[in-house]
Amino acid sequence: MKKKLVMIGNGMAGVSFVEQLLKLNPNRYEIVIIGSEPHPNYNRIMLSSVLAGDASMKDIILNDWNWYRDNGIQLLTGQEAVSVDAEERTVTTNAGVTLAYDELVFATGSVPFMLPLPGADKEGVIAFRDIKDCETMMETSKNYRKAIVIGGGLLGLEAARGLINLNMEVAVVHINKNLMNLQLDETASRMLKAELESQGMRFLMEHKSARITGKERVTGLTFEDGTHEAADLIVMAVGIRPNARLAKESGLEVNRGIVVDDHLQASIPNIHAVGECAEHRGLTYGLVAPLYEQGAVLAKKLAGVDSGGYHGTVLSTKLKVSGVNVFSAGRYTDEPGTKALRVQDDLDGVYKKVVFENGKIIGTVLFGDTSDSSRLFSLIRSGQDFTGKEKEVLFGPSGGGGSKTLSMEDLVTAMSGDEIVCGCNGVTKDTLVEAITEKGCVSLGELKACTKASAGCGGCKPLVEAILTTTLGADQVTKVKEGICGCTTMSRDEVVNAIQQMRLTTTKEVMHVLEWHNPEGCSKCRPALNYYLGMAFPEEHGDEPESRFVNERNHANIQKDGTFSVVPRIYGGVTTPEDLKRIAIVAEKYQVPLVKFTGGQRIDLLGVKKEDLPGMWKDLDMPSGYAYGKSLRTVKTCVGNTFCRFGTQDAIKMGIDLEKKFERLDTPHKVKLAVSGCPRNCAEATIKDLGVVAIDGGWELYMAGNGGTRVRAADLLVKVKTEEEVLEWTGAYLQYYRETANYLERTSEWAVRVGLDTVKKALEKKEDRDALNARIDKTLDLMQDPWKQIIENDDLRVAFDALTAKGAVNPEAAAANESK
């Protein structure tokens, strides 16, 4: 007869343990699982992706209802185990069901720690732990605007990013002076903060919360220093506590968590604990990798298979925020007896720190470039001695890069079969090798679909690829092109071709016809599709504001304090006393805290409240400067021959003509132009997307320059004689960029990718330039000033009313990865 196994908790650790037990000994137990949440087992880690709009609830189910049925498991969902009689060996649920057991497993996870602040029980104060919390945030964002996240750790930042994507204004309150202070050192924290600020996140660092205000519903948070921040929603992400209350009441030994030995045995015979609720050698864990390792050990024990026991886990963390690469593992702080190797590149925003103790790597922090994460993490776990050759870990034997001390392939060979490769989904090397050798997986995509490896945070992708190559041989691996996002395997060109050939005109239609895996799309594909559709069919495609980035939806740039910046169009950087007077009056009327000249010769009114935007635009009576858009930003000019004695051409007129012609154009990324009146180049035209430099008897046009993070000097595109030719070449060049670049690709990246000669060749024939210009003119004819449209349209203006977040925005479709 089968023995009875009852498990309390239907979460990631517990179900992973059951999966492994079934593999080892499928017939030994009659299994009953009690789960208080009304769902089958889902990937809690991916809640951040759901909130950010990158995955749907459906995507995160790990074991569907059929899995329980097919494996003969009785699942009691929506029921809570409320008492355990260890002598009688029974468990009773709140529904009055009593179950007898031979073996009992506690897999009750953790409960979020809620700060015991006065007012913490008000409506709108929640944690971020389960599907219910996620749904509450999504619902709240439909009717409210301001959110506070208390806690600047991994969970808090992921919650904040998700809420921004839901079009909420978010302030992150953190008690420490460094973000993610449990995972990052000061330098990485500083870089992370700067990056997140540029994405619209606002921080109140070293703030101690004192009181939550409001009657029934929260209205704000008051700090110990007396300052106050308004809020319609407060998310507490300040830590977790092992859920061990029932265990304690049942007579088990409990410290912080349920005390277990190396075989996950609790203090009473036949009772075990696994996951976040367990305390092993004085430690409790809050990440999944150790929980899967624990599950594997417990499965062996209950299946009657020998195991070496569980000996603790080296932890690693990866932040799941689009556009931010952060990784940390092991002991990364400087302590007596440790030495650190550091590489810091502020230009590219890259920071790497590797900490050694007695020649062995004990920890690492990576920011900006995390491509070394799998390799370094494996080296930490392998305990390899690098005495005397520490620098090779980052720079290779020659000190100048090249092959590092241990290649990924060496690491794969050295790994044991039961070592976990994908921490998020608990996938071991053996599982991957089996999928390759026995199930015929020959590509990363197939491995991902078959095993779920790399489907979580994606940090293990390089290691999974290395296992594939090592097992199969590089020549047998099918290189599957990456889709434009996780919703499709289709490349940008395939998607655009399909749009054109099938005459698709809405994002919904594209997703449906091209069989998107996620029918709602994600924050990567929605804005990209909206752009491609507008580029392909400017007349037929109606712009979809809900698919645009938050700044583009608001037609203003959100600042780190949650206010906005307003930049009116000033053609060629040339203004008039009347315009200046009007700007000054508006700045005074709306009490603009800062008026600043920008690098592109415009005037920036900073610190504007969202509800003041339409009124301000009306009073300014100037077109939008599109300082927030993937569009033509500015045409910078020097004074040219109008005033300068060196000038050979009228740079001001040329600049104004260019700006008037191409303003409002939707482009894959922002586009900056400049015109200099002579080769002295005072307008810095040779670091612009398109630069025009006057020479004797004509103009030189330069392409694909960039003055941003990755500085790139522009390349000469062509020399022309007349102003008309400048406009003609510019139009053709911009349209060719619009038609062939990936969404969010600057001209400097695009031209290098497709080849500078390809661009030149595409534009060299007059008839090709004419055709490109005909297409761009068609688009330009349709463009209207968005500020004017909002001023004149009551329905559009509603989205800017104070305390009304309803209207033009569909939060489900909010866009992540806001790029400056």
Ligand X SMILES: Cc1cc2nc3c(=O)[nH]c(=O)nc-3n(C[C@H](O)[C@H](O)[C@H](O)COP(=O)(O)OP(=O)(O)OC[C@H]3O[C@@H](n4cnc5c(N)ncnc54)[C@H](O)[C@@H]3O)c2cc1C
Smaller CB separation from ligand X, 18 or 291: 291
Site string for ligand X, 273-312 (x = CB under 6 A): --xx---------xxxx-x---------------------
Q: Quick check: 34 binds ligand X (CB under 6 A)?
A: yes
How far CA 235 is from CA of 139, 149, 323, in Å, comes to: 14, 5, 23
Residue 250 interacts with, from ligand SF4, ligand X, none (CB under 5-8 Å by kind): none
Q: Quick check: 566 binds ligand X (CB under 6 A)?
A: no
**Judged by CB under 6 A, which stretch of 107-115, 261-269, 464-472, 752-760 contacts ligand X?**
107-115
CB of 638 to ligand SF4, least distance (A): 3
Site string for ligand X, 261-280 (x = CB under 6 A): --------------xx----
Given a contact cutoff of 8 angstroms between Cβ atoms, the answer to whether 270 and 302 are in contact is no
Task: Report which DSSP code applies to 478.
Answer: -
Smaller CB separation from ligand SF4, 155 or 692: 692
Residue 155 interacts with, from ligand SF4, ligand X, none (CB under 5-8 Å by kind): ligand X
- Tokens at 285, concatenated: 């864990």
CB of 602 to ligand SF4, least distance (A): 18
How far CA 800 is from CA of 360, 472, 553, 709, 813, in Å, comes to: 56, 57, 11, 33, 19
Smaller CB separation from ligand X, 276 or 612: 276
Q: Quick check: 246 binds ligand X (CB under 6 A)?
A: yes
Residue 233 to residue 136: CA distance in whole angstroms: 10
Smaller CB separation from ligand SF4, 99 or 654: 654
- Within 690-709, which residues bind ligand X (CB under 6 A)? none
Residues that bind ligand SF4 (CB under 6 A): 638-640, 644, 646-647, 651, 676-678, 680-682
Smaller CB separation from ligand X, 37 or 689: 37
CB of 690 to ligand SF4, least distance (A): 16
- 480 CB neighbour count, 10 Å cutoff: 13
- Tokens at 554, concatenated: 């608001």
Go through the chain and tell me how many residues it has. Answer: 820
Three-state DSSP class for 385? strand
- Where does 358-411 show beta strands of DSSP type E? 360-367
Residue whose pair of structure tokens reads 């910046």 in the numeric block:
565
Residue 608 to residue 619: CA distance in whole angstroms: 14
Q: Which residues contact 522 (CB under 8 A, 6 or more apart)?
A: 53, 54, 55, 485, 486, 487
CB of 697 to ligand SF4, least distance (A): 15
CB of 721 to ligand SF4, least distance (A): 18
Residue 11 interacts with, from ligand X, ligand SF4, none (CB under 5-8 Å by kind): ligand X
Site string for ligand X, 197-236 (x = CB under 6 A): ----------------------------------------
Smaller CB separation from ligand SF4, 678 or 813: 678
Residue 590 — φ and ψ, nearest 5°? -95, 15
Residue 494 to residue 484: CA distance in whole angstroms: 10
Residue 680 interacts with, from ligand X, ligand SF4, none (CB under 5-8 Å by kind): ligand SF4
Smaller CB separation from ligand SF4, 537 or 646: 646
Residue 682 interacts with, from ligand X, ligand SF4, none (CB under 5-8 Å by kind): ligand SF4
* Cα–Cα nearest to 798, from 577, 644, 618, 611: 611
Q: Quick check: 36 binds ligand X (CB under 6 A)?
A: yes
Residue 131 to residue 144: CA distance in whole angstroms: 20
Given a contact cutoff of 8 angstroms between Cβ atoms, the answer to whether 797 and 33 are in contact is no
Three-state DSSP class for 406? coil
Q: Quick check: 392 binds ligand X (CB under 6 A)?
A: no
Residue 681 interacts with, from ligand SF4, ligand X, none (CB under 5-8 Å by kind): ligand SF4
CB of 645 to ligand SF4, least distance (A): 7
Q: Quick check: 243 binds ligand X (CB under 6 A)?
A: yes
- Within 11-30, which residues bind ligand X (CB under 6 A)? 11-14
Q: Quick check: 142 binds ligand X (CB under 6 A)?
A: no
Smaller CB separation from ligand X, 108 or 631: 108
Amino acid symbol at 489: T
Residue 28 to residue 301: CA distance in whole angstroms: 12
Given a contact cutoff of 8 angstroms between Cβ atoms, the answer to whether 138 and 337 are in contact is no
Helices (H) and strands (E) in the chain, counts: 27, 36
Residue 562 interacts with, from ligand SF4, ligand X, none (CB under 5-8 Å by kind): none
Smaller CB separation from ligand SF4, 649 or 742: 649
- Tokens at 339, concatenated: 């030495």
The residue sitting closest to ligand X, measured at its beta carbon, is: 11
CB of 673 to ligand SF4, least distance (A): 15
Q: Quick check: 109 binds ligand X (CB under 6 A)?
A: yes
How far CA 313 is from CA of 358, 377, 423, 586, in Å, comes to: 20, 12, 11, 60
Smaller CB separation from ligand X, 153 or 691: 153
Smaller CB separation from ligand X, 162 or 786: 162
Q: Quick check: 129 binds ligand X (CB under 6 A)?
A: yes
Size of the site for ligand X (CB under 6 A): 37
Smaller CB separation from ligand SF4, 296 or 692: 692
Q: Quick check: 80 binds ligand X (CB under 6 A)?
A: yes
CB of 708 to ligand SF4, least distance (A): 22
Given a contact cutoff of 8 angstroms between Cβ atoms, the answer to whether 17 and 114 are in contact is no
Residue 116 to residue 99: CA distance in whole angstroms: 36
**Judged by CB under 6 A, which stretch of 41-49, 399-407, 523-531, 707-715 contacts ligand X?**
41-49
Long-range contacts of 740-743 (CB under 8 A, 24+ apart): 741/668, 741/669, 742/484, 742/492, 742/528, 742/668, 743/484, 743/492, 743/527, 743/528, 743/531, 743/532, 743/630, 743/668, 743/669
Residue 144 to residue 595: CA distance in whole angstroms: 30
Q: Quick check: 9 binds ligand X (CB under 6 A)?
A: yes
Residue 41 to residue 46: CA distance in whole angstroms: 12
Handedness of CA 38, 42, 43, 49 (dihedral sign): negative
- Tokens at 716, concatenated: 């000469």
Given a contact cutoff of 8 angstroms between Cβ atoms, the answer to whether 533 and 797 are in contact is no
Residue 201 interacts with, from ligand SF4, ligand X, none (CB under 5-8 Å by kind): none
CB of 569 to ligand SF4, least distance (A): 22
Residue 145 interacts with, from ligand SF4, ligand X, none (CB under 5-8 Å by kind): none
- 392 CB neighbour count, 10 Å cutoff: 18
- Tokens at 259, concatenated: 């005390």
CB of 48 to ligand X, least distance (A): 5
- Give contact residues for ligand X (rule: CB under 6 A): 8-14, 34-37, 44-45, 47-48, 80-81, 107-110, 128-129, 155, 243, 246, 275-276, 286-289, 291, 320, 423-424, 457
